[in-house]
Amino acid sequence: MMEERVMSWRGECWRALTLLATLILPAVASTDVKQRAFEFSYSAEVDHIPNGARKVSIWLPYPVSDPNQEISDVKVTCRYPTSIKHDPEYGNSVLHVSLDNPKESSVAVQLGFRVLRREYVRNDFARVGGEAGGSSDGTMKRWLGPDKLVPLDGRIRKIAQEITQGKTNDLERARAIYDYVVSNMKYDKSGTGWGNGDIYWACDAKRGNCTDFHALFIGLCRASGIPAKFAIGFPLPESRGQGEIAGYHCWAEFYLKGYGWVPVDASEASKHPEKKEYFFGAHDENRVQLSIGRDIELSPPQAGAPLNYFIYPYVEVDGVPFKDLQKKFSFRDLNMPPARKTSVG
């Protein structure tokens, strides 16, 4: 398997800045950080490849370490050559499989890896000092801009202005937006329309899943001048053990000048009202992150439209999106390492 280690300049800078911010701005004073060690399996099988197909391309998110998770022992199982790429905008790692003139009607790809996930807590808000949000750094521009399904038009700016009226700093504004989203949205996956991360759907239907909750939170933050970003991965049940995982989970972060990124999980707060305070400033250890951002151009570039978000396998046959595939995700907990203690330096 060939691996390309050269990321785009922008993606590399964003990763470096995130790591640096985490190192120089510790999360909370003198606290034990919860950790979880587990194995994760990600499987995909493309079925019923049509006879005469000239080219099959498969893209999967590839796990990487960051300040909140350590990825190790990554194993890729596939009968065909694979390579590791990085998308040009966000620097997400991408596992790519390409088949020319395939002789078989199905192709299977499996990713296995180990994760040490740490609780991500940034809620020492006494250190914020009420400074305005944003940054002079150009890398923040993307986190202030619109997404295809999260426009920052007059309607969204008006809602944001009404929610944050009277708030004097970005921490207060972000908290008002969080409270609004948690109070006005219902976690409800019945019917259709939910799950696209469409801010208009969230405003009108006032229900949906994590993508809808966080489209609304991120859009209202950006409309208020607060940088906010989208991340997606998989959730694990709180109880330890092993089992299959039904689907993805996503979450958000917003940026406070002079303090850094603050984790938020509005949909979990809605499902678990007793944890509402916790999830404004924390992500628990029961997750693994695989990509960030939306409207994603893959590498090598797909022929189809940018991906709304990147968590499931994406397949093209002769340049046309191909939907006939099976996917499966599972985990197995491992022995826990000692809790890691952090302190303000």
Domains in the chain with CATH codes: 2-29+38-119+306-336 (2.60.40.2250), 121-290 (3.10.620.30)
Mean pLDDT of the chain: 89
Dihedral of CA atoms 88, 246, 40, 92 in degrees, nearest 10, equals 10
Residue 23 has pLDDT above 90, yes or no: no
Name the pairing type of β-strands 107-118 and 93-100.
unpaired
The tens digit of pLDDT for each residue in 212-265 reads 999 999 999 999 999 999 999 999 999 999 999 999 999 999 999 989 999 999
The tens digit of pLDDT for each residue in 179-188 reads 999 999 999 9
Name the pairing type of β-strands 82-86 and 120-121.
unpaired
Q: How far apart are CA 271 and CA 282, in angstroms?
A: 15
Residue 261: HSE in the Cβ half-sphere, 13 Å Cα cutoff: 24
Using pLDDT thresholds of 50, 70 and 90, give the confidence band for residue 340: low
Q: How far apart are CA 282 and CA 119, in angstroms?
A: 7
- The widest CA-to-CA distance across the chain, in whole angstroms, is 65
| Three-state DSSP class for residue 256 | strand
pLDDT score at 339: 54
Instruction: Name 315's bridge partners.
Output: 58
Looking at residue 163, its amino acid is I
Q: How far apart are CA 202 and CA 216, in angstroms?
A: 6
Residue 196: HSE in the Cβ half-sphere, 13 Å Cα cutoff: 13
The tens digit of pLDDT for each residue in 160-202 reads 999 999 999 999 999 999 999 999 999 999 999 999 999 999 9
Q: What is the pTM of this model?
A: 0.88
Q: How far apart are CA 115 and CA 35, in angstroms?
A: 10
Element (H or E) spanning 74, and its range? strand 69-78
Instruction: Name 96's bridge partners.
Output: 59, 83
Q: How far apart are CA 228 and CA 322, in angstroms?
A: 32
**Residue whose C-alpha is closest to residue 329's, from 243, 268, 250:** 243
Using pLDDT thresholds of 50, 70 and 90, give the confidence band for residue 335: confident
Average pLDDT over residues 334-344: 57
